Each structure stands twice: as structure tokens, then as C-alpha cells.
Amino acid sequence: MVSAPFASLHEQVIERLGSRIVSGEIPEGTVLIAEELGLSRSALRECVRVLETLGLVHARRKRGTVVQPEAVWDVLNPKIIAWRLAGPDRLRQLRSLSELRLGIEPVAARLASERATPEQCGALTAAIVGMAATQRSADHEEYLTHDKDFHRILLEASGNPAFAALSDAVAEALAGRTVNALMPGTANPEAIRLHEEVAVSVRSGEGQRAEAAMRAIVEEADGAMQALTRSGS
């Protein structure tokens, strides 16, 4: 994962170590030793505090800092999602996120048809207008911003705090397509239409229609990403 241009040295080290652990380059059970990593002990100690909150490492007395198994990672944390999408196991991560979205977003759309506020309905429509206006540059940041807004608002409009809490994970999944060149240059018109159908159905209180359209969106995105990955694009 490429560090932000103005990231601090501390942040750069976290990015480097985190991505190496998540990719498997530094495997489970490895004891992190500052000298072997080319770091000072104080720099490693500062990074460990962050990596430990993500479940990637555990500092043990007399044994040092040990890399943890994937089973205990905070896999929905946006940092871990981004690192996994940038690593060699990208396709498995994309499939995992698609399955998560399939289990959550269609239900969120149905709930939103019952609970969305007029303001949220308006925000969904505004996000679609933005997507439509930028669909010829779907692999750029502006389109991505509108797409993320749509899905965040939908999850919040479900009225379910647990769904809303997953908005960052969904946003990172969407961003992963752009960052890793898995978005086409022009958005699929059918995808735009389906987003509009979700918004219209939410606004009109048609729960089953909203759920079906949202399911079709996630399935279309999953199929498109797999096709692009297979083609080597």
C-alpha cells in the first residue's frame, strides 16, 4: 500500500509493517525484532501499540512481540481491508467483502424503505446524480466519492446502528476497486440504473423492490471485479 505523500515516519512504518503482516510476508508466529526490521526499538514499540489494537501482533513478556493468526485480526478495520486488497490475496478478500455486502446491504435497503428520513432520501438522489455526472471517469476519485456516499447513506438510513457501523468497511471495499485498478473507465449504465431504483424504492416505501435492486448491485459489482481480475486488467 502506498503511503500518503505527507504521512509521518511513524505512519509509514505502520503501513509497511501492517501490509507485510497481512500479506503473509511476515508470517504468523514471527517475533518482531527491531534490528531485523531496520527500525529503532522505540519506533517499533510505537508501531506495535497500533498493530496490537488491530489484532495483528501481541506483545508478550519474555517472548517479545509475536505476529498473530488471521483468526484474531480486526478484519473489518479499514486499514486491514486496504492492506489485504493491496496484497497477493486480493481476490479472496474481494469475494469475502462481496459476501459481507450481500448479507447486509439488501436488508439495509429494505429497512431504509421503512425508516429513511426525507433528508436521507434526498441525499441518496444527490449521490446518484453525482455518479451519473462522473460515470465516464468511474475509475477516478470523484465518482468513488459519490458511490461511497450512496452506500454510507443507505446503511445509515436503515436505522440499524450495527449496519451503519459497517459503512467504513463498505467504503474501503468500494475504494479497493479504484485503488487496485478494478474499476472500468466508464461505469456500467445498468449499475447506475440499479442505484436509482434503490433510491426510488426507498423513497416510495417499496421494501422488496429496494432489496432486490440492492442485491443486483452487489452481484453486478462482484461479477465485474472477477472478470477484470481474470483478464489481468
Question: What is the CATH number for 124?
Answer: 1.20.120.530
pLDDT in tens, 133-162: 999 999 999 999 999 999 999 999 999 999
| 113 in the same domain as 57 | no
Q: Got the DSSP string for 167-197?
A: HHHHHHHHHHHHHTT-S-SS--HHHHHHHHH
Residue with cell 434503490: 198
How many independent structural domains does the chain possess? 2
| 192 in the same domain as 127 | yes
Residue 85 lies in a domain: no
What is the CATH classification number for the domain harbouring 55?
A: 1.10.10.10
State pTM to two decimals.
0.86
| 218 in the same domain as 111 | yes
| 219 in the same domain as 120 | yes
| 103 in the same domain as 30 | no
Average pLDDT of the segment spanning 91-103: 89
| 146 in the same domain as 222 | yes
